[in-house]
């Protein structure tokens, strides 16, 4: 058997290509063996064991400065028994650094994870630009823990104010009067961004050969949108009892459809060529499936406006006309007072 194996090896060895392959295979094998300890060292820098910590305290093994810095769990500049005590404590951190919620949402859950199950109370502090009681329900600063994860629920408060994006910053409190309760992890702080669901949309409306600047306030709520029309108070759309806001009586908004009906806008006789008083309805509709119309709830709306004039005293003057409107969503925080509502081309 040995003679046969020797013949085979000798036969292979006489082939130049075979010799090259064999040399390359053995070279790569020995290189891999040589570098494995270094890979193990790199892993040890970020994942040391309890035995490593004991060996460092008793100086039974030599460790690099990077390893010793990582073992110094209480950051007092040395590796000692206090670090061994801390090693048995779980690491606590958020599952992510940030999250985002729309103001119209009911609740958002912020999750904290522990490396091992624990029973007790997690303490945290709350800060940020959002106001407790106005933008979200006040948080207690504590939550009971019984396991390796815990949820911090945050109830969001919806309002009709135009606001910038606001933040809730939650920071884990790791110490009490006895010292560290758990160890800091990668994410010791979590920021919740509240994006306003109320926005101003500005654009133009053309009806009966007259073009005007308009603005709409669209508030997204769980029960549906509320919409108000804003105008300069002249010509096509007068003031509403001294206010330039006309609330819509019917509304609808989706990814493909927009609807707003403004009813019973009074037009007195001095504003008409016939000298007769009217009531005016304005119905705004946009359908993504109709050519020339578009609905993008986060950017723009283009559609048709139907103007209905009703004259109770002279029905012969009743009429219905159609025109076009276009709206573009303004930046967060923009108010109706900042929108140009002057007549288009100087018309009133």
Whether 277 contacts 313, CB under 8 Å: yes
Whether 267 contacts 273, CB under 8 Å: no
3-state SS record for 36-81: HHHHHHHHHHHCCCHHHHHHHHCCCCCCCHHHHHHHCCCCCCCCCH
Q: How far apart are CA 198 and CA 183, in angstroms?
A: 41
* Block residue for tokens 């090896």: 9
pLDDT-based confidence at 236, cuts 50/70/90? low
207: β partners: 210
Whether 233 contacts 198, CB under 8 Å: no
C-beta neighbour count of 105 within 10 angstroms = 17
For 198, what's the count of Cα atoms within 13 Å in the CB-facing half-sphere?
16
Q: What are the DSSP E strand ranges found in the chain?
A: 91-94, 98-102, 107-127, 142-155, 166-173, 175-176, 179-180, 183-184, 189-195, 198-207, 210-221, 224-230, 245-247, 250-253, 257-267, 278-287, 294-296, 300-310, 319-329
**Residue 315 DSSP class:** G
Whether 136 contacts 102, CB under 8 Å: no
For 228, what's the count of Cα atoms within 13 Å in the CB-facing half-sphere?
18
Q: How far apart are CA 173 and CA 142, in angstroms?
A: 10
pLDDT digits (tens, 9 = 90+) for 131-149: 999 999 999 999 999 999 9
pLDDT digits (tens, 9 = 90+) for 153-191: 999 988 777 777 899 999 999 877 666 678 888 899 999
Q: What is the largest CA-CA distance in the chain?
A: 123
Whether 108 contacts 192, CB under 8 Å: yes
Residue 280 pLDDT greater than 90, yes or no: no
Residue 37 pLDDT greater than 50, yes or no: no
Give phi and psi for 220, each to the nearest 5.
-85, 125
**Both tokens assigned to 313:** 């005293």
Give the pLDDT of residue 278.
Answer: 80
Average pLDDT over residues 274-290: 85
First to last CA, the chain: 110
Residue 171, CA distances (Å) to 141, 305, 335 in order: 10, 50, 33
pLDDT digits (tens, 9 = 90+) for 85-123: 777 778 899 999 999 988 877 899 999 999 888 888 999
Q: How far apart are CA 169 and CA 119, in angstroms?
A: 24
* Block residue for tokens 């919409």: 227
Q: Which of 108, 105, 131 is nearest to 190 (CA)?
A: 108
Q: Report the mean per-residue pLDDT for the chain.
A: 81
Q: How far apart are CA 47 and CA 152, in angstroms?
A: 29
Residue 38 pLDDT greater than 60, yes or no: no
pLDDT-based confidence at 317, cuts 50/70/90? confident
Residue 348, CA distances (Å) to 74, 232, 273, 279 in order: 73, 9, 14, 18
Higher-pLDDT residue of 249 and 15 is 249
Q: How would you classify the pairing of strands 257-267 and 278-287?
A: antiparallel
């Amino acid at each position: 058997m040995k003679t046969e194996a020797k013949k085979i090896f000798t036969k292979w060895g006489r082939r130049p290509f075979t010799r090259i392959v064999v040399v390359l295979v053995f070279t790569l094998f020995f290189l891999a063996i040589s570098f494995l300890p270094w890979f193990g060292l790199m892993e040890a820098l970020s994942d040391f064991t309890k035995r490593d910590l004991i060996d460092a305290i008793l100086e039974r093994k030599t460790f690099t400065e990077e390893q010793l810095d990582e073992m110094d769990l209480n950051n007092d500049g040395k590796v000692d028994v206090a670090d061994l005590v801390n090693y048995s404590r779980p690491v606590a951190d958020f599952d992510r650094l940030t999250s985002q919620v729309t103001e119209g949402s009911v609740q958002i859950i912020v999750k904290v994870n522990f490396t091992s199950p624990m029973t007790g109370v997690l303490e945290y502090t709350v800060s940020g630009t959002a106001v407790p009681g106005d933008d979200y329900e006040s948080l207690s600063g504590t939550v009971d823990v019984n396991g390796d994860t815990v949820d911090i629920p945050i109830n969001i408060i919806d309002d009709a104010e135009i606001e910038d994006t606001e933040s809730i910053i939650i920071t884990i409190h790791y110490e009490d009067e006895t010292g560290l309760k758990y160890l800091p992890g990668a994410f010791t702080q979590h920021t919740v961004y509240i994006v306003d669901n109320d926005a101003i949309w500005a654009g133009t409306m053309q009806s009966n050969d007259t073009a005007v600047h308009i603005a709409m306030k669209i508030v997204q709520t769980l029960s549906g949108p509320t919409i108000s029309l804003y105008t300069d108070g002249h010509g096509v759309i007068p003031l509403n009892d001294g206010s330039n806001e006309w609330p819509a009586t019917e509304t609808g908004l989706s990814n493909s459809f927009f609807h707003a009906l403004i009813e019973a806008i009074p037009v007195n006789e001095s504003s008409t060529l016939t000298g007769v008083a009217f009531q005016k309805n304005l119905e705004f509709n946009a359908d993504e499936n109709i050519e020339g119309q578009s609905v993008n709830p986060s950017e723009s709306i283009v559609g048709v406006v139907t103007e209905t004039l009703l004259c109770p005293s002279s029905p012969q003057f009743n009429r219905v006309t159609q025109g076009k409107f276009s709206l573009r969503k303004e930046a967060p925080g923009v108010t109706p007072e900042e929108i140009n509502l002057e007549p288009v081309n100087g018309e009133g």
